[in-house]
Structure 1
Amino acid sequence: MILSEQLLTPEKVAKLFKINNRTVYYWIEKRLINYIRINHKVVRFRHTDIEEFIQKHTVRASDVDEVVDEIFAKLS
Structure 2
Amino acid sequence: MFTSVSLMSLLRSLVLDLDLDLELDLELDLELDLELDLDLELELFWSMSAIWILPLPRVARTLVLELCLLLV
TM (norm. structure 2) is 0.34
Greater relative contact order (Cα < 8 A, sep 6+): 1
Higher-strand-fraction structure: 1
TM-score, normalization: structure 1? 0.33
Name the structure with the higher helix share: 2
